Structure 1
Amino acid sequence: MRIGLVDLDTSHPESFVPIIRSLGHEVIGVYDEGGGKSPPGYAEKFASDHGIGRVFKSLEEMAGQVDLAFIHSCDWDIHAARAEPFVRAGKAVFIDKPLAGNVRDLLRFREWAKRGAVISGGSALRYAQEVQEWRSRSALPESFIYALAGCANDEFYYGIHAFTMLHGLLGPGIQSVRHLGNSGQDQYEMLWSDGRRGIVSIGATENSHPFYATMITQAGAEFITADSSRLYRTLLEAVLPYFSGEAPSPVQLDTVIETELAAIAARLSKARGGQPVELLSLAPDTTGYDGAAFARTYREQKILSQ
C-alpha cells in the first residue's frame, strides 16, 4: 500500500515508518499543519530524515495519492476533520489513539463505517501479545471474578491504554462506568452486560508505570505487564492486512468506539460524584476530554524537553 502520515507531533510517526516498511508497504508522503503542534519546517525535515519523498500541502492532495492515511494528531478534536477527506475519497484511515474525546465524533466514525468506509484505530494495547495470549486461554465468563488494569501519566491520552487493555482482555459489552474515588490515581469500575466487573486506575504518578493488568478467576490470579517494545509492531501486524484487503478487521470499529465511550462515561461519572453512567445514555453533545487543551500542554512539554 501507499501510505501517508498526517500530523507529526507525536513519537508514533517516526516509530511506525520502519515497521510499515518492514511489512512491505511504502510511506509516500507526510502532511503536517506546521507552526501548530510542530515547528515550521518540521515536515520537510521529517521527510528528509526518513527518506520520504513528498510533503503534501493539503489533505485532499494526499488523499488522491495514498491508499491509507494514518492520523497521528495529538489533538484528538481534529481527528474527524483530518480523516474526512480520505473517507470522501474512498481511502482507508487509521486514527491513532484516542479516536475522539467527544461522543459526536465517535458517532460520526461509526456512521462512516456503516456507509462502507474502511476505518480502524485506537490503542495498541488491544493487540499486545500478553493480552492476546490471555484471551486465547481465558476462563469462561462464569469463572471470571474480577480484573484491574492501569497505567501512569494523564487520564486520557495515556489513560485510554488502561481502558483498552482491560477491554481487550474482557471483550466488548460494557454497560456502565462509575468513579470509585482517588487514592493517588482515579479508579473507575466498569460493569459488563453479563455481570463482570473490572477497574482501571489512571492518572499522573511520580514515576512511570508499565501497562499492567491483574486478572482474577476461579482458577487463580494472574498479573500481566505489556512489553512496550513490541506494541507498535503487534498493532501494525494486526491492522495492515485488514487495510490491504488481505484479512478481515482484527477488531470491529464499534468495539474501539465502545472503549472510548467508556472513558467519556468515566469522566462524566466523576463529575457527577460517582454516579454510574450508562454508555447508552451518552448524548451526542457529550464532551469528555478537551483535545485542544491537551495539545497545547503536549507541545509545551515537548519544547521544554528539547
Structure 2
Amino acid sequence: MRLLSTITAFALLTFATATSADEPIKVGMIGLDTSHCLAFAKLMNNADDPKHVPGCRLTVVYPKGSPDIESSVTRVPKYTEDIQKYGVKIVHDLEAMVQQVDAVLLETNDGRPHLEQIIPVLKAGKPCFIDKPIAGSLEDCIAIFELSKHYKSPVFSSSSLRYGKNTQAVRNGSIGDVMGASTYSPCSLEKTHPDLYWYGIHGCESLFTVMGPGVETVVRTQTDSTELVTGTWNDGRIGTFRGIRSGKTGYGGHAFGAKGIAEIGGYNGYDPLLVEIVEFFKSGKPPISEEETTDIYAFMEAADESKRQGGKPVKVADVMGKAKEAAAKKIAAVTGQ
C-alpha cells in the first residue's frame, strides 16, 4: 500500500527519544466539538481505564468550534470544562499549541476549516491524525495531502468504523479476494457540508476498507429517508452504500468474497482506531494510503454530482480533475510556488 513521504529527521529523532525513554508522546488537539475529543482524552490519559491505550498523552487543546453549526456551539463550553479533568491544558493560540507537542489530533467536527488549521502543523513537521471528515470538500482533501508531502509531515484520516473487527478481518483476507460489498450507516445531513461527508462517511469508509481504491463511476439515488450510492470499480467489482435517515438505523453490511460472505461495517469502539493513531505517531507511517482516502471523498463527491445530474452515472476521474485544479490554487497560495 502506497504511503506518504517519510517524516523529517527531526520528527524521527523526537519519536525515537520519546519511545526509548519510555516517555509518552506529547499530543495536542485542535477542536473540541465532537465526542471523540473526550473519548480519546480518556483512553490516552486515564491509565485505569480498561481500554487505556498507552504511548501517548494528550497535554494541550486548542478548543476551536464552528459558529454556524449548532452542535458545535453547544458542545465546546462543556467539553472545554470536561477535558481538563484529564490534566489537559487549554491554549487559545494554535501555533503556540503546535510548538508544545510532538503530534496532533485534528478533531474539529467541521471539515471546512481543516485545511487552514493543519497548515501550522505541517509546517512544523508534526504528524497529524485528521478525524472525519478530512475536509469539507474534495479539493481541500487533495490540498491537504499535497501539502503533507511538500512539508514532509505525515497525515492520515479515518472513521472509527474502519477498524471494526469483522471489517478488518475481511480486509486481511478472511473470505479471500473481495468481489463486492454493501454497507449501511446513519446518514444525517448538515447544510454546510456535501451530503455524505457529515455522517455517511462512516458507511463509505467501511465500504472502501474492504473494497480498496479504484472506484471508476458512481450513481446515486436519493429520497427524504434514504441514500443509495452504487460504485463500479475499475476491475468490474460493484460496491454500494445505503444511508439511513428514518426507521431503525445502525452500522453494518456484507462483503462478498471468493471464499465466503461476511458481515462488515460494525462499530467496535474508539480504542482500535486510537491504537493505530498511536502507532502512526510513533512510526510516522500512515496506515492508510493517500489514494484510498482520496477515493472515498471522490466517491462521495461523485455521488453529489450524480444527484445534481438527476441520478446519471458520473466518472470519478471527472470530479477528481476539477478538484485538482481548484486544489492547485490553494496549494500555491500556501507554498508560494
**Following superposition of structure 1 onto structure 2, how do residues 63-82 of structure 1 map, counting pairs within 5 Å?**
63-82=98-117
CA distance in 1, matches of 2:234, 2:201: 21
Q: CA deviation at 1:150?
A: 0.6
User: Does the residue aligned with 1:5 lie in a helix, a strand or coil?
Assistant: strand
Range with bigger deviation, 117-126 or 186-195: 117-126
- Aligned ranges 1:207-226 → 2 under 5 Å: 207=248, 209-217=249-257, 219-226=259-266
* Structure 2: 5+ residue stretches without partners: 1-24, 46-51, 189-195, 327-337
Contact 1:91 1:118 in 2 (8 A): yes
2:299 to 258, 262, 269: 262
Aligned to 2:156: 120
Name the CA shift for 1:2/1:257 in 2 (closer, same or farther; >3 Å).
same
Map 1:128-277 onto structure 2 (within 5 A): 128-141=164-177, 144=179, 146-154=180-188, 155-182=196-223, 184-207=225-248, 209-217=249-257, 219-226=259-266, 228=267, 230-245=268-283, 248-277=285-314
The number of residue pairs the alignment matches comes to 280
RMSD between aligned residues:
2.4
- Other structure's SS at 2:136 match: coil
| 2-structure distance, mates of 1:107, 1:190 | 20
- How far apart, CA to CA, are the structure 1 residues paired with 2:63 and 2:79? 6
Secondary structure at 2:270's aligned position in 1? helix
1:28 matched to 2:28: no
Runs of 4+ in 1 over 6 A off after TM superposition: none
- Give the aligned residue type for 1:7: G
**How far apart in 2 are the matches of 1:34 and 1:179?**
32
Instruction: Specify the alignment match of 1:8 in structure 2.
Output: 32
- The Cα shift of 1:117 comes to 1.7
Paired residue secondary structure (1:250): coil
Identity percentage over the alignment?
A: 25
TM-score scaled by structure 1?
0.83
- CA shift, 1:190, in A, is 0.7
Residue range with higher mean Cα deviation, 193-202 or 175-184: 175-184
Look up the SS of the partner of 1:110 in the other structure: helix
Match of 2:133 in 1: 98
- Going from structure 1 to structure 2, the CA distance change for 1:102 and 1:278 (only over 3 Å counts) comes to same
Rate the CA distance shift 1:199–1:34 in 2: closer, same or farther, 3 A.
closer
Output the CA distance in 2 between the equivalents of 1:128 and 1:15: 17
Per-residue CA deviations over 1:170-201 (Å, capped at 9, x if unaligned) read: 11111121114548411010111111001100
| Superimposed CA distance per residue, residues 187-218 of structure 1 (whole angstroms, 9 cap, x where no aligned partner) | 010111111001100141234x2210122345
Give 1:73 shift: 1.2
Superposition TM-score, scaled by structure 2 size: 0.76
